[in-house]
Structure formats: C-alpha cells, structure tokens
Amino acid sequence: MAARESRRSPSTGPSAHPSAHPPALRAIRRRITTGLAAAGGFSVFLALIQLAMPLYTMQVYDRVLGSRSVETLVALSLLALGCFAVFGLVEAIRGRLTQAMGHLAARSLTMDALEASMGGLLRGGASRPSQVLRDLNELRQFLSGPSLTAPLDAALSLVFLLFLTLIHPLYGLVCGGSILCLVGVSLLGRMLTMPGAAEANRALCRHGAEVEAASHGVEAVAAMGMMGNLRRRWQAVQDDHLRLVNRTAGRAQAVASLAKVCRMTAQVAILAAGTMLVLDRQVSPGSMLAASILMGRALAPFEQLIDSWRNWSSARESLRRLRGLFTADAAPAPGVPLPRPSGPLLLDRVTYVPPGSDRPTLRGLSFSVEPGEAVGIVGPSAAGKSTLARLLVGVLEPTQGGVYLDGHNVWRWHRDDCGRHVGYLPQGVGLLGDTVEDAIARLGEPDPALVTAAARRAGVHEMIGRLPDGYRTAIGEGGALLSGGQRQRIALARALYGDPRLLVLDEPNANLDQAGEAALLRAIAEAKAGGAAVVVIAHRRCVLDAVDRIVVLRDGMIDQTATRAEMVRRLGTTTPQPAAAAATP
C-alpha cells in the first residue's frame, strides 16, 4: 500500500522536528509578560504612594511643631493612614497577581511538560518526570515570590532619587552615589554566585538521578551487597554538591554583608549631608529626616536584588531545562480520529536510528500481518526485537519508512485514538492505577463488563477472584503488591481490554508458569479468531507454537521469514529457538 516515507536522516538532530509545545510555551510567556506589565503599573503606584511617609515627616516637623496645630496633625495623620491603607491594598493585589502568574504557569505547563518528559524517555531523553515537577515548582515559586519584581522595584527607585534631588541636589548626589555602589555590589554578587548556583543545581539533579536509579534496582542492591558501594557513590556526589553550595553560599554571604555595610554607610552619609545643609540653613530639619527615609526606600530594592540572584539563577536553570524538554523530540501533532481499523499491519522498509547514534538498530524491514494472523519475531539478543515492538505500536518514529495499520501511519495517528485499537504487553511490565480494575481498564472509567471480558480472555478471572478484594484489590506502586507472574497476566488482560485490532506481545511468558502459558496461548488464539493482527516476540518454544509465521531478525535486518511449519522443516526442530535461528546461515 504505502510508499516509502523518509522524514529524517540518521544525522538529523532534535531541532529538525517541529514541536507542538514551544507555541504553548510562548503563549504562556506572552500572558506572563502581560501580567508583568500590570505588576509594573502597580509598582509605579506603590513607589509614588511610599512618598507619603517622608512627606508626612516633613510636614510634622516643619508645620505642626512650629504652629502647634493639633488639627493639622490630625488631618495629616488621617491622610497618611489613608495612603497606607491604599498601599496595603495595592500591594496585596500585586501579590495576588504574581501568585496568579505562578499558578497559571504551573497549570498550563505541567501536563504538557510531563507528557513531553514521558515521550522523551521513550526516545532516550534524560528529563525524568520527577525533575520536571521540581523545575515547574521552582518556576512557580519564582513567579509568585518577590524576586520577580525586585528588578522592577529597583528601577523605580529613581522616583525617590528624583524627589531627593528636588529637595536638594546634595541629597540626590549622595543617594545616586549610594545606588551606584549597591549596583556594583549587586553585579559582583551576580558574577560570583550565579555560575556556582547553576553548577550546584546540576549536581543536585545528578544526585537525585543517582538515588532514583538505585530505587528501581533496590532488590539487586540488597541481594548482592551493593549498598556499601552505593553509599560511597552517593557520598561522592553529595560532597560535590555540598562543596558547591558552601562555596556559593559563602560568596553570597560576603556580598550580602558588603551590601549592608554600603547601605549603613549611605544612611550615615545622608544624615551628615542633611545636618550640614540644616546648619547652613539651606533645608529644614524635617527634610533631613525625610531624606533619610527616602534613602532607605531607594536602597532597599537593591539590597533585595542581591538576595534574589540565587532565585533568578535557579529559575533560569529550570526554564532552560523546560525549554529544552519542549523542543526536543516532539510527538506528532494530533491527527483526525479514525474509524476502527480492519485491515492489515504493514511495515514498509522501516529503518530506525536511535537519537544521538549513527548506527541503525533496524534496517529496511518490510513485512505484513493480516487480520486473524499471528507472526512470531525471534532472533538473538540486540537484534532489535523490542525496538520493533515499540515501532509497531507507534511509540517510536521510524527514521525512514513507515508502519501502517489499515493504511494509516501509526506514528501520525492520534495517540489516544490509536491506543484504543492497540494492545501492547511490553517486556518490562509496570501496572498503573490503584486497583486491579484500574490497571486493566487502562486508567479510564472502568467498564465492569469489558474488564471482566478482558480478564477472562487472559485467563486471570479466577486468579483475580482469589485476591483479597477481587478486582478492587490494591496493587501498589507499579503493581509492587503482586507477584511477577500476576503482574504479567494482568498486563495481558490490560492489552486485551476493548478487543484491540493490533496485539503486540513482547516476551509475554517471561514470568509465567505452565498454567499461565496455557492461558496465553488461548488468548492469542481468541485474538486471531476475533480478527486481530498479532505479533509475538518470544524466546520460549511454547508461545511460538501459536503463531502462523516466524520472522528471524539478525543485526537489525530480516534474516529469514517463513510459515511456522516451513521454519520447523528448515531448522529440523519442533519450534525455532533464538540460538538455533542465530546459528542458521
């Protein structure tokens, strides 16, 4: 049916793929930019209203004390209190706005980021979902906290500088010099702390990856006495992280102390300048106190900015990882939902090169599986059998060629729509959901009739009935509360749920006993009788007795293909074993 497709060459990098996610990321960026503009407007208003306190101080010292007018004091105090109330309200609104921006970013990006991370794992990506969640939480906290508006508040310090200059140019000169001093300290802090903070963050990610990887192999760690070696590896990674953290924290503390010294020196300088001006009768005593307050308001954002560089660095690293996640190896854009397939499965000259490699795992594979037919895939280790299984169900994109079910490209097919017609039992079985019923129903709303039918076809209905709560029995994380054989048989029921048109089984009897293998053979026979195209990847003889044809893979290419009877005749044995197949010329 299909002509050859060639969507990318083996050397094509991830950036060659158009991604559906960066537009969403850009849309969030535009909305956050709009929110920042609104926050900037509120910041301008807050900066202006903060002038109320120094103005109040000036009027009290220059007017009230001189006139002894209680009425003036009361009026000024009420006006100041009103300004403070408005200030509190506007600041609360700005805080709610930044909080909403963080919430918007987390709500809009989390699902897409997790989906991109899961897809990246299929294609060899390094961004674990747990790290993605940490990055999104870091970004949310940054957008919701005061660090985001610190540069804006620092820029608005020019309002206080202008007001000080209007009172007297000497005040403006002292304030401007102090601001330049703190800007220099801030830039120094940025240069000294940001690279170290980014490196420490990466070391922490490596530590988390080490721990997460070890948690998946905890049984092997305990059984083979690897805990001591693991502790030493963890200790080395942690020591590296703590060394970076301590070095960065020490520099940050030194910069913060220098900033405090500069600020206290500035306060002394403004008071000394004010005293000289008062003695020279160039300004009033009230202006001296007002200048001190204005100086504090002008310098506070710069001191806060110094403390915020670490948050800016962490947020930038998180955003860099998320941007890389969204732009790497994007899944295809959702297609149009298609009717239930009834035609054959076709591989048309399929070649697959893993990302980052120039050596094909599979080369030029072409064969078909008709409805009601079962094909067995055998071959030595590293022949590409499991990679082929992933290509057949559409979780990997062929580098060249295409995989078609009923004439439609399974990679381009809308994943949720295609998945309803596909049953897949991977080599590494992991169950999802809280109960057996959830696991079989593929995390959807369980249909008791369909769940029971799938369990009966997989031969596990009676086994499930013997569990403590039947279909409502808790399975634990990944099915940890079940045995390996129980997990594999329930995963087979999940693959059969909904009567799929394509059934791909990768080593389906690896953990099964004799009764489980008999149930598996019956399930394959029933799937064939129901018109499904069945592909079975196996090493053990039992399962291959149920197939109609056998394809032998060697070095990523088809070495032999024939009916099961013909293959038996060629190899002179009951059913071909991988070792025998590999030894056959």
- Of 302, 328, 354, which residue sits at a domain end? 328
- What CATH number is associated with residue 568? 3.40.50.300
The verdict on residue 336 lying in a domain is: no
147 shares its domain with 230: yes
- Backbone φ and ψ of 363, nearest 5°: -135, 115
**pLDDT tens across 315-327, in order?**
887 787 777 777 6
C-alpha closest to that of 396 among 463, 445, 365, 351: 351
The tokens 């790497």 sit on which residue?
Answer: 328
**pLDDT tens across 204-223, in order?**
777 777 776 677 667 677 76
- Both tokens of 420, joined, read 């309803």
The verdict on residue 16 lying in a domain is: no
- What CATH number is associated with residue 186? 1.20.1560.10
40 shares its domain with 99: yes
Number of folded domains that form the chain? 2
The verdict on residue 412 lying in a domain is: yes
Range of the domain at 476: 345-573
The verdict on residue 422 lying in a domain is: yes
The verdict on residue 408 lying in a domain is: yes
DSSP secondary structure code for residue 9 in this structure: -
DSSP secondary structure code for residue 476 in this structure: -
The verdict on residue 149 lying in a domain is: yes
304 shares its domain with 379: no
- Of 296, 328, 360, which residue sits at a domain end? 328
178 shares its domain with 271: yes
The tokens 């298609």 sit on which residue?
Answer: 338
**pLDDT tens across 358-406, in order?**
889 999 999 999 999 999 998 888 888 888 998 998 888 899 999 999 8
268 shares its domain with 365: no
- Backbone φ and ψ of 524, nearest 5°: -65, -45
CB 422 within 8 A of CB 502: yes
CB 458 within 8 A of CB 519: yes
CB 323 within 8 A of CB 116: no
The verdict on residue 580 lying in a domain is: no
3-state helix, strand, coil in the chain (%, to 5): 65, 10, 25
Q: Is the pLDDT at 474 greater than 50, yes or no?
A: yes
305 shares its domain with 372: no
532 shares its domain with 473: yes
The tokens 């389906």 sit on which residue?
Answer: 508
364 shares its domain with 505: yes
Longest dimension (CA), the chain: 119
The tokens 């900015």 sit on which residue?
Answer: 305
282 shares its domain with 370: no
- Of 263, 297, 328, which residue sits at a domain end? 328
DSSP for 297-338, please give it. HHHHHHHHHHHHHHHHHHHHHHHHHHHHHHHSSPPPPP----
235 shares its domain with 353: no
If you count them, how many residues does the chain have?
A: 585
50 shares its domain with 79: yes
C-alpha closest to that of 523 among 459, 465, 461: 459
Mean pLDDT (whole number) for 222-248: 78
CB 105 within 8 A of CB 28: yes
- Return the minimum-mean-pLDDT range out of 55-59, 166-170, 271-275: 55-59
The verdict on residue 474 lying in a domain is: yes
228 shares its domain with 376: no
What per-residue confidence (pLDDT) applies to 375? 92
